[in-house]
Amino acid sequence: MEESRKPQTIATEKYMQKAGIIAKTYKLKREVAEEFAKACKKTGVSQSEQLTRMMEEFIESQKK
């Protein structure tokens, strides 16, 4: 039997697919993850935005 999904869930999944957004799971030390969340909140930056920025910087540094 097919699971029923809400229209908003379907719309969100469609947007994420179109935008090329995927969910990833990483295992980190709790203390590091909590401090990172606090630092992001303090500076008004989303965690995903900051992670993306740091990943892109690292990728670029490896191209040199």
For 6-53, the pLDDT digits (tens) are 999 999 899 989 999 999 999 999 999 999 999 999 999 999 999 999
User: Per the structure block, which two tokens stand in for 34?
Assistant: 């909590």
Question: What is residue 1's predicted lDDT score, i.e. its pLDDT?
Answer: 39
Are residues 31 and 20 in contact, defined by beta-carbon separation less than 8 angstroms?
Answer: no
Q: What count of other Cβ atoms lies within 10 Å of the Cβ of residue 53?
A: 11
